[in-house]
Amino acid sequence: MTAHEDSVLLDLVRGSLDHCVKCTICETHCPYSNVTPLFPGPKYVGPQAERFRSGEEVSPDASVDLCSSCGICTQVCPQGVHIAEINTRAKARLAESEGIPLRNQLIARPDVLGMLGTPVAPLANRTLSNRPLRALAHRILGIHRDAALPRFAGRTFRSWAKRHTPPAQATKEVVLFHGCGTNYYEPELGEKVVAILEHNGFRVTIPKQGCCGLPLQSNGIFPAARSYARRLARRLAPHARRGVPIVGPPTSCTLMLKREAREIIGLDEDPDVRVVSEHTYDICEFLLELHERGELRTDFQPVEETVAYHAPCQQQGHNIGKPALDLFALVPGLRTVELQARCCGIAGTYGLKVERRQISLDVGADLFSQIRDAEPTVVACDAETCRWHIEQETGVTNLHPIDVLHRAYGLDRR
Amino acid sequence: MRVDVVVVGAGTAGLVAAVRAAQSGRKVLVLAKGAGATHLAPLTIDVLGYAPERVESPARELAPFIAAHPEHPYARTGEAAIAEALDWFRGVMGDAYPYTGGLERNMLLPSAIGAPRPSALVPVTMAEGDLRRDEPMCLVGLRPLKDFHAALAADNITRLGVQARAVELDLDVDRADVNALGLARAFDRPEVRALVAAQLALRLRAGERVGFPAVLGLRHAPTVWRELQERLGRPVFEIPTVPPSVPGLRVDAILLGALRAAGGRIIIGSEVVGAAPDADGVTVRARAAGRDVEHRADWLVLATGGFAEGSITLGSDWRARETVLDLPLAHVPAPGEPRFAPGLFDEHPMSRVGVAVDDGLRPVGPDGRRVHERVLVAGASIGGAVPWKEHSGEGISVTTGHHAAGQLAGVAPSVGVAA
């Protein structure tokens, strides 16, 4: 870690430490410490333990590694302590000192995996769903044999975007940040976002872009996370400087651009990161703001379905409420059930790991039973790894809220 | 977001105001820096416990108390508003978490160390612990829970004149460090309470009522409590412990559920850092990831708390400041005057500092005139009270939260919002 980024973090994050009054509100809300005795909770491994790991010291207590970085502790803290940021940083130091296992190096690079898997998608998908091979990966790599892995689409969103002709009459411009999940695994989600934005009169610019660095950050690989985040910010910054909003469907990755790159890996003073942060929108946040200005088309057709909506932890980290619910309310016929559980348990790559699998399932149990009780047609959720995980564990189709709006606009029938 | 009412703060006062406003057809948005005092407070509704002697009947003593404290929040709302607010609160809790009592007589409930706490309206799960009755008590300590020492509480209760003794139960909860919340979740499971009842039944004596730390269920408290009473064949009561407050979390869940059911929205983790009131409403600036977000409302209810919540700050220059709107504050000691008394439990000159309000709960300046028509204040942000000394905290929060929302009731909701 460079001295400069460290001092940025010191001011931003560690400075909040002394505001902790040990009120236990973070522990009340932590989905992880509530299901496993192995994780003593965000206060314990955070504001309390941080006093024993000043400067370059590694945490004397390895239990901080069981934190999933879901960020809920920071959201609920009434004193403004950056608990999740403190703990993610302590986890990274721990990982640095112990060496990063090959598995974590792999699953933290969705862009590399995507590039490798896409051209050989049928083979790659067969490999990922092959039971004996998964058992082998379980034993050798430590990727749990039953954890949900995505399927390669066999084509990329970017290749579609290159062929796509934007409508001639568009007057307003927006930049699309699609993320790795959309590019390699769910290109149709990107196409739907473009269709909705174009339906609302936007010309969608799709600049060259890569991974935001979030999975690297979650796995404690900060130097690589920083270079990924910086490179992405450099590509998006010229558009932000022109005042063009940057919108994206992967809510975890837009949160990385907005806040986490600044506050967790310490890029707060990078001018590109800052300007991108200020101009980035979660796609539902952007559409709802359009609606509040009276600029969103509301020619929605009835969708006779029950949608159970789960706001993932990272979506809640935007501090914008649940805009998807307000958008769903515009669709005639749509019945919405707001799910009340906080976390599904996957936390990006956390639930893929053999040694975390049971904790992950225990965290998600509450959400899964709420979904079963709601008997929805589909579950809507803004983060891709959460969708894959929830779908696998409940058997209910999981979609991005955009998918529901796309159908409500009738764009699937054009 | 464009709404009718923005409530700032998600403690008891803020949530009560939000729920009542939403139920009367307003579009409500609650913004809070973090989770509120519901997570910490026992949520017995203490209306007036000391004035300065112990109050037996708030109904009888509120009028003279109000007359003697013309700047107290109760003097602003009036006595009738207190009774109305308590009725409303009881209605919202309903069967999900029934409350009992009222202004006629204070109950006297044991604290976690066995000190008497006068309270007007209390959860039924606590009512049987009333120290005005003399049946002996058996207090149950649960060994994994280090936040409740049954023997200490029992000793102190015995000194008050009610026979009390302690028993300790082993309860295997599979973790070294458990708090009240973890145990409450365990009690939600039928097999855990069956086990506890079985272990306990043989150790109880005739005529004893049984006191537990307040961990008797998080989601199913009334069921857990009733079932233990039936299994043990005697009255059972809960004693609130240190945070996390399980009783408070039960109330929090019910208020949030009522808010959602009435179409209200809440964003926890979005600190309000500024608000600009004008003649038609208020523009609110709140923190969000990456940038501040603006909201516009016809009304703003400020329920951010006082010094303890960081909502009122005191500079070394003697200047006290309300942090969201910079509202004028009353009861601030003049520069050079003493601000604190030497004893911890003395009444400190600083302790009454807060926003001065009129009968409509609008903030007023030193001349007594409204400074903002569209801003209302509720809960511990209002000055003129010493809640911990009066035992009036929840009473003030519920009453002023309810009353603030009531101020909007006479005004028709804006067009386009379903009534």
Do B297 and B272 contact (CB within 8 A), yes or no?
no
> With an 8 Å Cβ cutoff, is A333 touching chain B?
no
- The answer to the question of residue B119 being in a domain is no
Chain B CB contacts of A316 below 8 Å: 269
Same domain (yes/no): B256, B323:
yes
The per-residue pLDDT for range A205-216, each reduced to its tens digit, is: 999 999 999 999
> With an 8 Å Cβ cutoff, is A209 touching chain B?
no
Q: How far apart are CA A345 and CA A45, in angstroms?
A: 19
What is the DSSP code string of A269-300?
T-HHHHHHHHHEEEHHHHHHHHHHTT-S---P
- The answer to the question of residue B129 being in a domain is no
Do the Cβ atoms of B266 and A321 come within 8 Å? yes
Residue B78 has a CB neighbour count (10 Å cut-off) of 15
Closest Cα in chain A to B296: A292
Mean pLDDT of A106-124: 92
Strand partners, B293: B286
- The answer to the question of residue B230 being in a domain is yes
For residue B345, the one-letter residue type is: F
Question: Nearest CA to B89 among B24, B29, B44, B25?
Answer: B44
Summary mean pLDDT of chain A:
93
Q: How far apart are CA B169 and CA B362, in angstroms?
A: 52
Compare B364 and A11 and report the one with higher pLDDT.
B364
Q: Which of B175, B185, B267 sits opposite A37 (nearest CB)?
A: B175
Same domain (yes/no): B281, B217:
no
Do the Cβ atoms of A320 and B267 come within 8 Å? yes
Same domain (yes/no): B200, B274:
no
- The answer to the question of residue B125 being in a domain is no
Could you tell me where in chain A the CATH 1.10.1060.10 domains are found?
Answer: 3-98
Residue A391 tokens read as: 């779908």
Pairing of strands B116-119, B107-110: antiparallel
Do the Cβ atoms of A321 and B267 come within 8 Å? yes
Question: Nearest CA to A379 among A283, A313, A309, A312?
Answer: A309
Q: Which of A23, A320, A338 sits opposite B40 (nearest CB)?
A: A23
Same domain (yes/no): B182, B282:
no
- Residue A1 in this model has a pLDDT that exceeds 60: no
Domain of B310?
Answer: 2-94+250-409
Do the Cβ atoms of B185 and A77 come within 8 Å? no
Last-in-domain residue among B206, B234, B262: B234
Type and span of the H or E element at B100: strand B99-101
Mean pLDDT of A88-99: 90
Q: How far apart are CA A288 and CA A284, in angstroms?
A: 6
Do B127 and B100 contact (CB within 8 A), yes or no?
yes
Closest Cα in chain A to B35: A76
Do the Cβ atoms of B35 and A40 come within 8 Å? no
3 state SS of B415: coil
Domain count, chain B: 2
Q: How far apart are CA A219 and CA A108, in angstroms?
A: 7
Do the Cβ atoms of B291 and A27 come within 8 Å? no
Q: Which of B2, B179, B293 sits opposite A24 (nearest CB)?
A: B179
- The answer to the question of residue B334 being in a domain is yes
The per-residue pLDDT for range A15-45, each reduced to its tens digit, is: 788 889 999 999 999 999 999 989 989 999 9
Do the Cβ atoms of B2 and A292 come within 8 Å? yes
Helix extents (H) in B167-275: 180-187, 190-201, 221-232, 246-261
Closest Cα in chain A to B287: A319
Q: Which of A37, A76, A277 sits opposite B268 (nearest CB)?
A: A76
Chain A CB contacts of B295 below 8 Å: none
The fold of A3-98 is Fumarate Reductase Iron-sulfur Protein; Chain B, domain 2 (1.10.1060)
Do the Cβ atoms of B35 and A80 come within 8 Å? no
For residue A142, the one-letter residue type is: G
Do A107 and A143 contact (CB within 8 A), yes or no?
yes
User: What is the distance in angstroms between the Cα of A149 and the nearest Cα belonging to chain B?
Assistant: 29
Query: What ipTM goes with this model?
Result: 0.94
User: What is the distance in angstroms between the Cα of A23 and the nearest Cα belonging to chain B?
Assistant: 7
- The answer to the question of residue B131 being in a domain is no
Q: How far is CA B416 from CA B1, B2, B115, B295, in A?
A: 15, 12, 52, 18
Residue of A20, A28, A363 to mutate, interface with B, max B Cβ within 10 Å: A28
Chain A CB contacts of B181 below 8 Å: 27-28, 34
Strand partners, B286: B272, B293
Same domain (yes/no): B87, B151:
no
Chain A CB contacts of B182 below 8 Å: 34
Closest Cα in chain B to A260: B289
Q: How far apart are CA B266 and CA B252, in angstroms?
A: 13
Do the Cβ atoms of B36 and A76 come within 8 Å? no
Closest Cα in chain A to B270: A319
User: What is the distance in angstroms between the Cα of B176 and the nearest Cα belonging to chain A?
Assistant: 7
Residue B40 tokens read as: 């910490």
Do the Cβ atoms of A278 and B182 come within 8 Å? no
Going along B75-216, which residue ranges are E strands?
99-101, 107-110, 116-119, 121-123, 137-142, 164-169, 209-213
Do the Cβ atoms of B179 and A27 come within 8 Å? yes
Q: Is the link from the previous residue into B349 a cis peptide, with omega within 30 of 0? A: no
Do B186 and B173 contact (CB within 8 A), yes or no?
yes
Q: How far apart are CA B72 and CA B62, in angstroms?
A: 11
Burial (0-12, 13-18, 19+ Cβ within 10 Å), B368: exposed
What's the first-to-final CA gap in chain A, in angstroms?
51
Last-in-domain residue among B202, B234, B266: B234
- The answer to the question of residue B317 being in a domain is yes
User: What is the distance in angstroms between the Cα of B268 and the nearest Cα belonging to chain A?
Assistant: 6
Same domain (yes/no): B149, B21:
no
Type and span of the H or E element at A198: helix A187-199
Same domain (yes/no): B259, B219:
no
Do the Cβ atoms of B269 and A316 come within 8 Å? yes
Same domain (yes/no): B215, B329:
no
How many helices (H) and strands (E) are present in chain A, helices listed first?
23, 8
Q: How far is CA A381 from CA A175, A300, A390, in A?
A: 22, 20, 9
Do the Cβ atoms of B36 and A318 come within 8 Å? no
Residue B144 has a CB neighbour count (10 Å cut-off) of 18
Do B357 and B382 contact (CB within 8 A), yes or no?
yes
Q: Is the link from the previous residue into B144 a cis peptide, with omega within 30 of 0? A: no
Residue of B30, B293, B311 to mutate, interface with A, max A Cβ within 10 Å: B293
Local confidence pLDDT in tens for the 419 residues of chain B = 899 999 999 999 999 999 999 999 999 999 999 999 999 999 999 999 999 999 999 999 999 999 999 999 999 999 999 999 999 999 999 999 999 999 999 999 999 999 999 999 999 999 999 999 999 999 999 988 989 999 999 999 999 999 999 999 988 776 667 889 989 999 999 999 999 999 999 999 999 999 999 999 999 999 999 999 999 999 999 999 999 999 999 999 999 999 999 999 999 999 999 999 999 999 999 999 999 999 999 999 999 999 988 899 988 888 899 999 999 999 999 888 898 999 988 889 899 999 999 999 999 999 999 999 999 999 999 999 999 999 999 999 999 999 999 999 665 444 333 33
Chain A CB contacts of B215 below 8 Å: none
Do B2 and B296 contact (CB within 8 A), yes or no?
yes
Burial (0-12, 13-18, 19+ Cβ within 10 Å), B170: exposed
> With an 8 Å Cβ cutoff, is A74 touching chain B?
yes
Q: How far apart are CA A23 and CA B249, in angstroms?
A: 14
Residue that has been written with the tokens 């008050």 in this structure: B160
Q: How far apart are CA A373 and CA A80, in angstroms?
A: 36
Q: From the CA atom positions of chain A, what is the Rg in Å? A: 21
CATH architecture of A298-413: 3-Layer(aba) Sandwich (3.40)
Same domain (yes/no): B260, B358:
yes
Could you tell me where in chain A the CATH 3.40.50 domains are found?
Answer: 298-413
The per-residue pLDDT for range A226-238, each reduced to its tens digit, is: 999 999 999 999 9
Q: Enumerate residues 276 to 305 of chain A having a beta carbon within 8 A of any beta carbon in chain B.
A: 277-278, 280, 292
Residue A283 tokens read as: 């796609």
Q: Which of B179, B268, B290 sits opposite A277 (nearest CB)?
A: B290
Q: Is the link from the previous residue into A238 a cis peptide, with omega within 30 of 0? A: no
Do the Cβ atoms of B291 and A277 come within 8 Å? yes
Supply the DSSP symbol for A320: S
> With an 8 Å Cβ cutoff, is A207 touching chain B?
no
Do B124 and B150 contact (CB within 8 A), yes or no?
no
Closest Cα in chain B to A278: B290
pLDDT of B26: 96
Chain B CB contacts of A257 below 8 Å: 290
Q: How far apart are CA B167 and CA B176, in angstroms?
A: 21
For residue A403, the one-letter residue type is: D
Helix extents (H) in B108-207: 124-127, 150-159, 180-187, 190-201
pLDDT of B410: 62
Chain A CB contacts of B287 below 8 Å: 319
Size of the A and B interface in Cβ pairs below 8 Å: 91
For residue A20, the one-letter residue type is: C
CATH number at residue B54: 3.50.50.60
Same domain (yes/no): B88, B21:
yes
Question: Nearest CA to B8 among B403, B297, B418, B328?
Answer: B297
Do the Cβ atoms of B33 and A338 come within 8 Å? no
Burial A135-148 (b: 16+ CB within 10 A, else e): eebbeebbbbeebb
Residue that has been written with the tokens 């919202």 in this structure: B92
